[in-house]
Amino acid sequence: MANLKEKLIGQLETSQDKSSHNKITVVGVGAVGMACAISVLMKDLADELALVDVMEDKLKGEMMDLQHGSLFLHTAKIVSGKDYCVSAGSKLVVVTAGARQQEGESRLNLVQRNVNIFKHIIPDIVKYSPDCILLIVSNPVDILTYVAWKLSGLPMHRVIGSGCNLDSARFRYLMGERLGIHSSSCHGWVIGEHGDSSVPVWSGMNVAGVNLKELHPEIGTDKDKENWKKVHRDVVDSAYEVIKLKGYTSWAIGMSVADMAETLMKNLRRVHPVSTMVKNFYGITNEVFLSLPSVLDNHGISNVVKMTLKSDEEAKLQQSATTLWDIQKDLKF
């Protein structure tokens, strides 16, 4: 006796491949991971979204909550699991999992705790998705991107840190607020380390090709009466401010990750300031990951744009590299 489904649907006499072709996995279903997940879903970037976490109840709840919105989405399959087999065959894996810094904890200690977490995460990701692109979001992102590269055995062009993509977005937003122009028409780059020692490229700021430093030579300096330096200071402080107000940051980083994911999944070859191996760029001699303008495609990072930096900008970039290396060299894998 045929059941309702069998009465409704006829089968063709052919074998059909039911595997996903544009699968994205998000590791970690905290505030950042779920902001990444919903942002990816709203951009219709995947035919399957997988969520992975060790907190099974929260994981199942988040999955069900997204599944119940399937009518309003165009992603055919949303799955979750504690076991990384659920991530198998992913094109892109976004890693947001990691320990948070505790009060009084040194940066090195936090990094070492996250290295220990990554030792369990990264090999399992690569085991089930050997051809994936890894997008690292966990902080401190530049060092953990280096760690993920070392642990994964993947070529460096397929291990990317979210880096200064968000810092640059914040910079362009604040630039636009000052000028009364939408941020998409305000061009400016923040490079180097994601966080306190990031480097604003004052010499490259422009609107419609008009270089702001040529109009206002003091921009970004201590002599600047308009105090544009505050724009970068606000970029650095903004995460701390949001955390103080709501306890964490989530939405902007989620949208930033989806922006990069769109470039990667659709092979758009757009330029993003993301964390990549910078050895042999700008006189940097150590194996560190920092943000430089990078061309992203469906293989990962295809090229790095060689920005023309002023001597002080280059010096700050080198200082960032030295700071990171001083922490990296003492890590135990």
Q: Which residues are catalytic?
A: 194
Scanning the structure block, which residue is given the tokens 């010096």? 315
CA quadruple 41, 43, 44, 49: dihedral positive or negative?
negative
Q: How far apart are the C-alpha atoms of 161 and 238, rounded to whole Å?
A: 20
Are the CB atoms for 28 and 59 separated by under 8 Å? no
To the nearest 10 degrees (0 to 180), the angle between helices 251-265 and 31-42 is 50
Is the backbone peptide bond immediately before 130 cis, with ω within 30 degrees of 0? Answer: no
Within 13 Å and on the Cβ side, how many CA atoms surround 171?
27
Joined tokens for residue 148: 């993920």
Vertex 143, ends 149 and 196: CA angle to 5°? 150
Which amino acid, 210? V
